[in-house]
Structure 1
Amino acid sequence: MLSNVIESLNRITYERIQILKPLTLVDGLSFQRYRAEYTELYLDQIRNASYLAITKMEQASAEEVRHLIGEVRKINPSAEICSTHYKDAEEAWWEKLLTGAADASEPKSETGSSAPQTETQLPDTFSMEKAYVDAPE
C-alpha cells in the first residue's frame, strides 16, 4: 500500500535524499469497480497522494467528471487534482510534480490506529527470487 511505501521511505530521507510528493492516477472509467474490488488498497493510494490525475475521462461529460472529482475529494480533500488529460496539463503542473519534495509526515490511514504497532526489525538488505502474491491486497 502507498502508506506503507511512504512510511518505509521516510525512514531513509534526510536533507540530501527526499521523496517526491506521490501521484496517483485515477482511472475514471473503473473508479467504482476498483473501489469495490480493492477497497483498502485503492482508497489508501488515493488518500496518500498529493496529486491525483484523472484518466480515461476524455469522452465523459463535464457532469460525470465533476461527480468523479467530488467522490475523490471525499477520500482526499487536500490533493491537487488534474481533471484534464495529463498530456494537456500545463508545464507548471509537471514542474510541481518533479520538484515538490514530500513532507515527512505520517501517511494517512483510514482510521487512526488505536492499537500500538510493534515495529519489526528488518535487515538492511535482502533479496527474493520468484516472488509471487495471489492478490494485490
Structure 2
Amino acid sequence: MKILVISGFLGAGKTTFIKALADKTDQKFVVMENEYGEVGIDGGFLASGAGQEEMKVWELTEGCICCTMKADFASSILTISNTLDPEYLVVEPTGLGRLGNILANISRIQYERIVLLQPVTVLDVSAFDRDKEKYPEICRDQIENAATVVFTKTGALDAGELARIEAEVRAMNPRGEIVTDSYAGKETSWWNGLFERYLTEEGAENAGKREPEAQQPDLENVGLTSIYLESGNQLVLFLQGVVAGVFGDIRRAKGYLPAGDAWLRFDVVDRNYSITGYEGGGDSRAVFIGKGLQRRELEEVLCPEGKNLEGKAEKMRFSGKRG
C-alpha cells in the first residue's frame, strides 16, 4: 500500500484537491480523513458526486494524528492495509497537524507492504501571512516537509504579492515543487506522477526530527448533527452572523444541511464564507472551530427546536458585535 499525504492548513482546500485527484486520474484509492472537530464532514463530501461512488473514506475525529491520536492512526493504517488492501491510501490530516510528525509516524510502521509517497501541501495564499503569524511552527512545518506545495485562492492577490509569497515559500523549501498556477489545468501526467514519487526512508526520518513533539493548538470545536434551516436566505443570514463574530471567534466552519427544498454545503474560512449545492443527503451536520464558541446559540439556530433566526439577525445587525 502506497501512502500519499495531502497536508494544508484549515480551509486551504485539501478535500477539493483530493476530489480533483480522483477526477484527474484513473487510480482507485482509499481516503483517511482526520477531522479536528467532534463530527466528520468531508467524508460525505468526498464520497458524493459523479465518479466518486467507489471511493472509500475512513474517518478519524476529535484529535490530531500527528500527536494525540498517533496510536489510533497507526492502527487504522494497518487495518486498512490488512482488510481493504488498496494500492493507494490518501491521508488528509487535520489542518492543524504537523506534516513532519505525520511522516515520521508512518515511517515507524513502514515495511515492504506500506511505503510513503512524496507528500503534498495545499497552501491558501490569501491566508498565508495570517497563518504564518498565528501558527508559525505549523505553517513552516507543512511547507518544509512537502515535496510539492500547491497554491490555492490566488485570485485575490496581485502579481507582486504572489511573487513575494512564492519567494518566502521557496526560502522555506528550496528543493520542492511549487505550483503557483491553477492545479485544475495540470496535465494528467502530473496528477499520475503524484502516485509514482516515493519518499526515501531518510526523508521520512529527517522530517520527524526537525520539530519537537507536536502540541495541539488551543482551539475549541463544536459539532452538530441533524441540523436544518428553512431557506437558503436563512443560511446566508446565519453565515453573516458567523463571520461577524456573533457565535464566537470562529476560524473555520463547514457543514451541509437541508435549507428549504435544497441541500446546501457551506464553508467558512476566517471572515469569508461560501455556499454550494450538495448531493450527498444523509444526516446533516456541521463543525465550528475557534475560540469562545457559543454552542447554545448555534444550537438555537441550527437544531430543530430553534427557529429564531430572524430575531438573531436583528441582534447581529444592531448589537455592534464583531469578530
TM-score (normalised: structure 2): 0.34
* Contact 1:58-1:85 within 8 A present in 2 as well: no
Q: How does 1:11-50 map to 2 (within 5 A)?
A: 11-50=108-147
Q: How does 1:1-137 map to 2 (within 5 A)?
A: 1-105=98-202, 106-107=206-207, 109=210, 134-135=218-219
CA distance in 2, matches of 1:17, 1:50: 19
CA distance in 2, matches of 1:133, 1:83: 28
- Unmatched tracts of structure 2, length 5 or more: 1-97, 221-323
CA distance in 2, matches of 1:10, 1:93: 25
CA distance in 2, matches of 1:135, 1:78: 33
The alpha carbon displacement at 1:60 in A equals 3.2
Compare 40-49 and 52-61 and name the one that shifted more.
Answer: 52-61
Q: Tell me, what secondary structure is at the counterpart of 1:35? A: helix
The total of aligned residue pairs comes to 117
The alpha carbon displacement at 1:39 in A equals 0.6
Q: Tell me, what secondary structure is at the counterpart of 2:201? A: coil
* Contact 1:24-1:51 within 8 A present in 2 as well: yes
* Contact 1:49-1:79 within 8 A present in 2 as well: yes
* Contact 1:58-1:84 within 8 A present in 2 as well: no
| Structure number having the greater strand percentage | 2
CA distance in 2, matches of 1:79, 1:93: 15
TM-score (normalised: structure 1): 0.75
- Partner letter of residue 45 of structure 1? Q
Task: Give a deviation string over 1:71-92, Cα, whole Å, max 9, x none.
Answer: 1001111111111111112222
- Partner letter of residue 210 of structure 2? S
Pairwise CA RMSD of aligned residues?
A: 2.4
The alpha carbon displacement at 1:43 in A equals 0.6
Structure with greater Cα Rg: 2
